[in-house]
Amino acid sequence: NWKMNQSIKSSIDFVKENYNDLLELTKKSSIIICPSFPAIPFVLQEIQKSDLDIGGQTCSPFEQGPYTGQVSASMLSEAGCSFCIVGHSEQRAFLKQNDDDVSLQAEQIFKEKLIPILCIGETLKERNEKKVKKIIEKQLLGICNFLKKTKNTESPICIAYEPVWAIGTGKIASNKEIEEAIEFIDTFLKKYKIKNYALMYGGSINSSNVKKIKKIKKIDGFLIGNASLDFQELKKIVLS
């Protein structure tokens, strides 16, 4: 997740300069790059023949219409994305997105047959108030109900557990904290008979702490922000 960090030029340079290494990494792991909207077609052009995937960082809860500044899921699909992040805490915080907005966005993503990377997680205040499970449940409920109601429980979805207090702070959740949250998410999804999901962790992942978190058996992958801007760092994370 490059967030609002790379220019279009540095996004292109990143994939161009590290292309062969990126190809090697895709033999080991699925890699989804989420650039800024304007960089998407340029990055895509560079990686067309590879197994790398591209994702949007968010999308509109609406299909189309007079929503200035919004980008629809169908536009992302047309641009060549196969994934889209949804419910990132930075979007929830800055744009005041609530769980209903996030569910509507996810519905648009499913409709376009893109794979949502749904971000969920508690703030420090919520953790201190022992509300972690309650918050996670609230953040999953709308989407699980939608999948159940529309009989889409086989649609692929990635769930990224990202404690808000661990994002971009250098503070990382302990394995026990992550395990508890991941177990809860896993059980919740199973209760809704959601079948095709990947569980991820995000929040201050880097090459020094990733080995420890990889020990958690149910973690399938990572949502990496800051460390993904440095290719050598990203390479070490994938290879550790």
Q: Which of 88, 107, 112, 233 is catalytic?
A: 88
Among 214, 226, 230, 235, which residue interacts with ligand PGA (rule: CB under 6 A)? 226
User: In degrees rounded to 5, what are phi and psi of residue 121?
Assistant: 155, 160
Least distance in angstroms from the C-beta of 168 to ligand PGA: 4
The stretch near ligand PGA (CB under 6 A) out of 5-13, 62-70, 146-154, 201-209 is: 201-209
Closest CA to 103 of 162, 71, 66, 147: 147
Q: Tell me whether residue 24 is one of the annotated catalytic residues.
A: no
Among 73, 223, 234, 238, which residue interacts with ligand PGA (rule: CB under 6 A)? 223
Cβ proximity to ligand PGA, 67 vs 95, nearer residue:
95
Q: Tell me whether residue 90 is one of the annotated catalytic residues.
A: no
Residues touching ligand PGA: how many (CB under 6 A)?
A: 13
| Alpha-carbon gap, residue 158 to 168, rounded angstroms | 21
In the structure encoding, which two tokens stand for residue 235, read together? Answer: 């390479």
Q: What is the CA radius of gyration of the chain?
A: 17
Binding mask 42-81 toward ligand PGA (x if CB under 6 A, else -) reads: ----------------------------------------
| Alpha-carbon gap, residue 147 to 135, rounded angstroms | 19
| Alpha-carbon gap, residue 187 to 166, rounded angstroms | 23
Q: For residue 78, count other CB atoms closer than 10 A to its CB.
A: 11
* 136: exposed, middle or buried (Cβ count in 10 Å: 0-12, 13-18, 19+): buried
By CB under 6 A, the residues from 137 to 176 that bind ligand PGA are 162, 167-168
Cβ proximity to ligand PGA, 52 vs 200, nearer residue:
200
For 69, 74, 103, 114, the CA distances from 59, given in Å and listed in that order, are 10, 9, 11, 11
The stretch near ligand PGA (CB under 6 A) out of 54-62, 93-101, 218-226, 232-240 is: 218-226
* Residue type (1 letter), 94: F
* Residues with active-site annotation: 88, 162
Give me the residues that bind ligand PGA (CB under 6 A), please.
1, 162, 167-168, 202-205, 223-227
